[in-house]
Structure 1
Amino acid sequence: MLYTDHLVLHGIGIKKYADAVNISEIIGIAQAEVENSIDRAEERGLVMRADGKATLGPAGRLIMQCNYSRFYDSVRKNDAFVAAYDRFEELNVDLKSLITAWQVRDIAGSTVRNDHTDADYDNKIIDRLGALHESAERILAAMASVLPRMAIYREKLLTALERAEDGAIEWVSDAKIESYHTLWFELHEDLLCMLGKEREE
């Protein structure tokens, strides 16, 4: 399997169900090349398509997983990348705590859903997200020096943060868009797959 074809399967795996544009954006390969790769994968029974979007079939997922060690052996052995990943995992704990604070609040000793009517409270959380992002920027810069496509996440996360800071608060964690939390989850999944790690719940 060519690296490009593996990377397209990887992109589909990260996105779960996506069209060529979305996959192209997350893996940094031209849309036309992605579409050709999806065509080849569909012919081999590795992916399924519906409404212009692709998802992995069982065979595609198996082949994708079997090729991570082949294509990312050098990344797994790169001390700078692994060290950056370790820092990411530490920061991930902070991000989880922040998202929990965004979703629920402690009011008079009771945990209640955050209905986002308190702008001051929400703005403080977004400020915390901005501070966290500064650390994430340094981590992703270190990763991108080894694997350039990681810079895509830097750009996308910054875009989501700036939109949230401008008042469109759905860009903090809305699962239906490329919100900060959605992108962070995809980034985490990307790293786990490449490095052969398991997600800790």
Structure 2
Amino acid sequence: MSGARSSVEVMTLQAVRLAGVADDAAVLDRAFAAEGEVFGVLDRAGRAGLVERMTFADLQGWTLTELGAGHLAGLLTAERESLATHAVLESALAAFEPVNARFVELVSRWQLAAPGMDAASGRADLGDLLAALTQLGGQLRVVLADLVAALPRFGRYPAQYDLALAKAAEEGLRWVTGIGLLSCHVVWAELHQDLFSSLGRSRYDLPDGQR
């Protein structure tokens, strides 16, 4: 299957959805498109009531409206049907789930152990954690290879995961588990959500331990 470019509207609205509340930079980080194209979509979507500006405490940015969520669901269905990507999405999700379980178990186990570590053992264990996460990153690339070939917008996930790992090696744990930035955990969670929503499903359809 040769790769087909998703529409800029799909990529932009999905970027807003995945981020939850996204400033311009956050949308650009997630949309696989040029700045001018992305801002054009946001402008038109805002005028159509598909997105709106939200401010809550010190958090502000674009958010998807209920109308926008329904519109995006229709766009993702049309993309899946027109590009014939249902099978490759299903295959990628099935292959991702066991890797996801290992990722969740690894990070959770490290977080539980971290408060009791002294500085020296903490540094050593962080190194071990990053080594294990790097292995999972390699598995992630294999899992997504066919999907990235079919839908190149999914190519951002392995690249941003690897970038977060590199930053974690220099700057510490926030690039592994932090929120408000494209940490390993955030990139991983957004990928999981993207796989489900691209198939017209929700992660909340899963049992708690598998989300």
- Give TM-score, length-normalised by structure 1: 0.85
Per-residue Cα deviation, 1:49-94 (whole angstroms, up to 9, x for no partner): 147721111111121123321111211134xx43232111110000
How far is 1:113 from its partner? 4.2
Higher mean alpha-carbon deviation, 117-126 vs 143-152, is at 117-126
Count of matched residue positions in the alignment of Structure 1 and Structure 2: 192
SS in 1 for 2:63: strand
Describe the shift of the 1:43–1:100 C-alpha distance in structure 2 as closer, same or farther (beyond 3 A). same
- Who is 1:13 aligned against? 17
Q: Which runs of 5+ in 1 are unaligned?
A: 106-111
- Greater RCO, 1 or 2 (C-alpha within 8 Å, sep 6+): 2
> Cα RMSD (Å) of the superposition?
2.2
Higher mean alpha-carbon deviation, 33-42 vs 67-76, is at 67-76
Describe the shift of the 1:77–1:83 C-alpha distance in structure 2 as closer, same or farther (beyond 3 A). closer
Match of 1:23 among 24, 27, 44: 27
Per-residue Cα deviation, 1:102-161 (whole angstroms, up to 9, x for no partner): 2112xxxxxx84667422222222221111111112122232111112111121111111
Match of 2:133 among 124, 129, 133: 129
- Who is 1:69 aligned against? 77
How far is 1:24 from its partner? 2.5
Higher mean alpha-carbon deviation, 69-78 vs 30-39, is at 69-78
1:169 aligns with 2:173: yes
8 A contact 1:174–1:181 mirrored in 2 = yes
> Is the helix fraction higher in 1 or 2?
2
SS in 1 for 2:150: coil
- Who is 2:94 aligned against? 86
Q: Which runs of 5+ in 2 are unaligned?
A: 1-5
Distance in 2, matches of 1:136 and 1:116, equals 32
Distance in 2, matches of 1:166 and 1:142, equals 32
8 A contact 1:163–1:169 mirrored in 2 = no
Structure 1 residue runs of 4+, over 3 Å off? 112-117
Distance in 2, matches of 1:175 and 1:139, equals 25
Higher mean alpha-carbon deviation, 160-169 vs 189-198, is at 160-169
Amino acid at match of 1:77: A
- Who is 2:3 aligned against? none
Per-residue Cα deviation, 1:154-175 (whole angstroms, up to 9, x for no partner): 2111111112233522211111
8 A contact 1:161–1:180 mirrored in 2 = yes
Describe the shift of the 1:41–1:148 C-alpha distance in structure 2 as closer, same or farther (beyond 3 A). same
8 A contact 1:75–1:195 mirrored in 2 = no
Amino acid at match of 2:71: I
SS in 2 for 1:72: helix
8 A contact 1:20–1:34 mirrored in 2 = no
SS in 2 for 1:54: strand
